[in-house]
Structure formats: structure tokens, C-alpha cells
Structure 1
């Protein structure tokens, strides 16, 4: 894989990451168009459902800049679609350019369409290169899979990716000091709100609602504009304060789940790709018993007030690795479900 293509993949993933948390039900995808000399002509990502996909947006930007005729190589994190949905096929957008080679990060995980985009491009006489098969592409292939992980989870397994975030004090409990709603450091708080921004909603329990009356909004970092998320509350409706319910409904689509056994089917019925669990020990114990989680982020504060991040995961990739804070995370265990 040429160095320019490697750099293009890194740029495409970084651009796509800017919009993680607002593309559902579509995946976050990035695309770079290069000249024959390796110059970046256009960099784009899919912003949200109903808007242009990354490849078509990159082509439109190149056309507007007057450089479309110079396109030689396309680098895209996900196999271009070859079907018409809310927008036309991305394969056709690429074929409207003089592109010679298309580098693809990951195949489409949908078994009904996987390989169709690549086949269309090859049929039209273009060369398709798969990142997975590049001798020096392993790290970038993992990065593309990391970006795509929530979409793969929803497409293949039928439910959103679930990240549990659990904060523990030096005594190993989740109870903050009297008069406070948290005990973690400002840096940890910013990380938590980055996660809220990147996810499509929150799963919580009535115990947390009654104890904290949480807003679950994104603060401390800039949120996606006009973003309305999902809020799933596990427990009985009678245990949900009406005033709190009315307030959060202004910003969330609220769903009540009276029985945790119903949670997988309830989540499957939504457009969400990635949800964060912010709940107390009762719901967390239930999710753990049901293996209803994908990665488990623990923020443990020691007696000196220093936070330590650790992650358990049930997969070989996790979207948590997209964040700079991942470098601070200790991986506690990896358990791959049968």
C-alpha cells in the first residue's frame, strides 16, 4: 500500500469520527480522493442520514473545486453502496469520475449486499484494492473495523452496540459524596461527555432516575447540532417521576422497558447503532448476567483522587479505541462469545 493511501485512510477515519453519533441508522464513513501524484483533492464524510454519503460528497466537493478530472484514486473506509436508498448509489458517483483505483477499508457487513459495490466497480473496469489484503494494512484495517463496529453489531446481530460506563470510588462503590452527583476528575467527566456525543442514546434504570434526576445531555464538549437521542429507562413506569419524564422528552425519544428480558428486542426496533449504559448496580448486574453488553468501561478513582480507566470487551475491536483516552485504558479482559 503506497504511503499516500495510508495517510488517506488515516484522514478518512479522522473525518468520519467527527460525525460519529449523528449518522444512525447509517454508519460513519470517510472518503478521500487522490490525484495520480497522491495529492489530496477532496476529503469528506457522511454527516447524517438523508444527506450525501461520503463518496458522493467527496466527488461533489472535487467538482466544485474544479479538480474532479484529476481524480485517480479513491480511498473509502467502507465498501461503496450499490443501491438506491435516500441517496443514489455511491458506486455511480465514483464511476462518474476518471478514478482508476478504489481502496476499500471494510466490506459491507450486510450479507444481502456485501461485495456488490466492489463488483460493480470491477465490472466497470476499475481496480479495487482491499485494505484487509494489503501486507502493510493490518493496523489501518483494524482502525476501519473499529469505526464500523457499532454498525456491524446492528446489521449482523440485530441490536445496537452497548457500552457500559461505570464509575467507582476508592471504596469500590458507585455512590458519590453527599451533595455531589459525581466524584470523577474533570478529565474523566469530559471523556464521559465525549462518549455521550458519540453514541445514539442512553440506557438507564429507574433507580438512577429516582436518585439523580439526570439530564443525560451532552455538556463539557460541543454536541452535534439539533441532535435528538434515544433514552431507554428500564423499570416500571410508576417509578419514573412525571416531571422528570416530561422534561427529558423535550430532548430525547424516551422508551420504557418494564422487563430487562425485553431490552434486546426493544433496542433492535430502534435506529440506534451505539448506546451507552449509565445505570446503577442493579441494572448493571442484570446486563452482565444476560451478557447484554459489548464493552465495559470502568473509571476507578484511587484514594489520592486519581482516575484509572479499564475496559473489558466481548469483541476484538471496540469503538472506544477511536478516542485519545483509549491510550490510558487498561484492557482487563477479552471474552469472545461463542
Structure 2
């Protein structure tokens, strides 16, 4: 008589677990710099999800270690069979031990990976380490290309910084029906409450805000996250392009008191290089018409979120992407 094939989670169970891992990671976008947001889910052989976790802050445990610890705390360590993770497990010592070794300390038989580690400084990938130890390692793209695309988008800011030294640049632009960016006299905005919430969600995920002196002189914006919950004790950079040094020390002191680390770079390129060196993964440009256009005609921007106000209905939101000069690949 032949032996029964070993039970493994079904493709549907793996896909569901991967979506849970993506959702967990997305909850911490904007909190993990200079590390990327990463989510992990663990399944038993039948396909039941045992644990879901996400990396929450640089210097704290990675998602794989957290999920494994959760399983063991529940007394389910021996049931670990399949691990799905949005980014290839690390295979080097940093602030925390390698996730590949944490996985190898379990009973895991298989690992599904969303995106390959784009860090060129990492010698020897986690996928290779796990395969060499006898685990089955697969790309989630072989199961569902859309899940792989979601995982890759999640890590693109980290990838850009690793491969170019520069942060991901998102340009937020709000315009009225005629295409003008200047609000009516006495108002700071002309968009809907939903659009205002979106703007604050963009701030929440950013590690830095970049603006110009004209915007500050016009209405002294706070650039804080108020319309959605922010991360506890979150400090961001505020880069102000102010060649004529028109911004007052009072404003800079007030911004510092709000938790910002203020930079006064000489140019857009200088600002992005400084922010990249400081570990910022994503920069949100919130500026007036001249600086916004200057960024959009430069090679530095990655995503353009354009909000067009509509008095008679919902605002229109368009998201445009810049073709990248760097590439992300999967490991099958």
C-alpha cells in the first residue's frame, strides 16, 4: 500500500492567509522606517490560520518572529506547517536575528513569499537559506499575480531607497473645477471631508512632508495627522524649500514642538538625498502650484495623487504613477 500524501493548505487557504498578512502590514505603513512594512500569517496543515502579525516599528520583532511567538504562546507551535509572508524573510543579523532562522526553528514545511528582498547589501537571500534546509519555497505570484503585485507595491518605497538612496515621493495636489490650487479667500481647502481624510491618510503613511516657503507664509499649515488616527509618538521630517529664508524661526520652533525634525535643504534634490540618508521611505509633497509643478516635471516623483473638487458630487481622485528606473523581481 502507498503512503497517504501529506496534507497541505489549499491554494484558497494560502491566498486568504496572504490577504490577511497584507492587511496586517498595511496597518503599519508609515511606522516602520527605515524598515519596510511586512505581514506574516501562519497556517496549520489543514489550512486554518494560526496567527497573523506585522512588523510595527524599527528595532522591534519582525512579522515572522511575532507570528511564531503568538503560535507558541497559544500552545500551537507544533502545528505550524505553512508560513506566508509579504516580503522575503531576512537572512542576516541586524537589530534582530534572521527571520530565516526563526522559521527553521519551527515545524514549518512550506513558505510562500510575496516580494523578494530588494536590499543589495544582503548577502544570501532568505529564500535560498530556507530551500537549502529542505523547505518548499514558492512565490505567491505563481498562485495569484494580483497578490504579488500588492506585495510589491507595499515594499516599493523601501526598494527605491535601497536601490537609489532616495525616498518614494508622493505628490498630493488638490484643485478646483478649473484646475486652480488656490482656495477661496478665507478658506484653507475647497475639497470634501472624504478628500481631507485621504490627505491625512497620505500624511500618516509618510515619513516626511516636503513643502515650500510660499505655502507656509500663506497659511502656516501644521502638517499634522488629525482626521485619521496617527501612530503613537510618531515624529516626521518637515523639509522646507526656502532659499530666501523667509520662514520665521517662530514657525520652525512651533513645528519642532509638534514633533517635526525640520530641514532647510538647498534644493529638491538636496532635500530628497538628506531624507533618504535619514532613513525616510516616503515623502509627501504638500506645496503650492510652483513647487508642485517643479516636482512633477522632475524625475524624482513616483506617485501623483490629484484630487479635483466637485461642487455637485464626490471629488474625483486620480492616482498617476511614474515609470520606475528600478525593478522588483519575484523569487519563484
TM-score, length of structure 2 as denominator length: 0.91
Separation (CA, whole Å) in 1 of partners of 2:65 and 2:174 = 42
Of 142, 146, 153, 1:146 maps to 153
* Conservation of the 8 A alpha-carbon contact between 2:91 and 2:124: no
Residue 183 of structure 1 corresponds to 190
Instruction: State yes or no: 1:92 paired with 2:101.
Output: yes
Alignment partners' CA distance in 1, 2:275 and 2:111: 35
- Please give the secondary structure, in 1, of the residue aligned with 2:107: coil
C-alpha root-mean-square deviation of aligned residues, in Å?
1.5
For normalisation by structure 1, the TM-score amounts to 0.90
Q: Is 1:63 equivalent to 2:76 in the alignment?
A: no
Q: Is the 8 A contact 1:202 1:216 kept in 2?
A: yes
- The answer for unaligned runs of 5 or more in structure 1 is 317-338
Residue 212 of structure 1: how far off its partner (Å): 1.3
User: 2:138 — aligned with what?
Assistant: 129
In structure 1, the residue matched to 2:237 is: 230
Contact 2:169–2:301 at 8 Å: present in 1 too? yes
Aligned to 1:34: 43
Residue of structure 2 equivalent to 1:107: 116
Partner SS state of residue 217, structure 1: coil
Per the alignment, residue 329 of structure 1 pairs with none
Structure 2 counterpart SS, 1:239: coil
Structure 2 residue aligned with 1:167 = 174
Structure 2 unaligned regions, length at least 5: 1-9, 325-332
State the 1:315 CA deviation.
3.6
1:181–1:212 CA contact under 8 A, matched in 2: yes
Distance 1:77 1:261, change over 3 A: closer
Q: Which residue of 2 aligns with 1:301?
A: 309
Aligned to 1:322: none
Question: Greater shift after overlay, 283-292 or 86-95?
Answer: 283-292
Q: Distance in 1 between matches of 2:311 and 2:194?
A: 17
Shift of 1:237: 6.1
SS, match of residue 257 in structure 1: coil
**Shift in alpha-carbon separation, 1:147–1:26, aligned structure 2, 3 A:** same
Secondary structure, aligned partner of 2:264:
strand
CA distance in 2, matches of 1:223, 1:138: 32
Instruction: Tell me the secondary structure at the aligned position of residue 249 of structure 1.
Output: helix
- Structure 2 residue 249 is matched with structure 1 residue 242: yes
Question: In 2, distance between residues paired with 1:214 and 1:243?
Answer: 13
Q: Does residue 314 of the first structure (1) align with residue 322 of the second (2)?
A: yes
**More displaced, 170-179 or 247-256?**
170-179
